[in-house]
Amino acid sequence: MVNAKTFLEKRYNGDMELEDAVHTAILTLKEGFEGQMTEQSIDVGIISTIPSAQAGESTPAFSCLSPAEIKDYLSNIA
């Protein structure tokens, strides 16, 4: 079995849209996941940036996908 790091390195690139990056991350998790992967058994966090009041600066922001959003991604993978 290909380890998760190698799996992710082969599929991820910095120019991906968020949707594609989340899809790739879930596929990577699935590679090493034992049992059934459901919206209740995984969490997906997203780190983004929010533009700051000062020009050219931004602030990092963290959010988690809801179970319903995760379920939508999982249904596209099956």
Helix (H, G, I), strand (E, B) or coil at 49: strand
DSSP-derived secondary structure for 28-74: HHHHH--S---TTT---EEEEEEE-SSTT-EEEEEEE--HHHHHHHH
pLDDT value at position 5? 85
pLDDT value at position 31? 82
Helix (H, G, I), strand (E, B) or coil at 71: helix
Average pLDDT per 10 consecutive residues for the chain, totaling 78 residues? 79 91 91 89 93 83 96 90
- To which H or E segment does residue 4 belong? helix 4-11
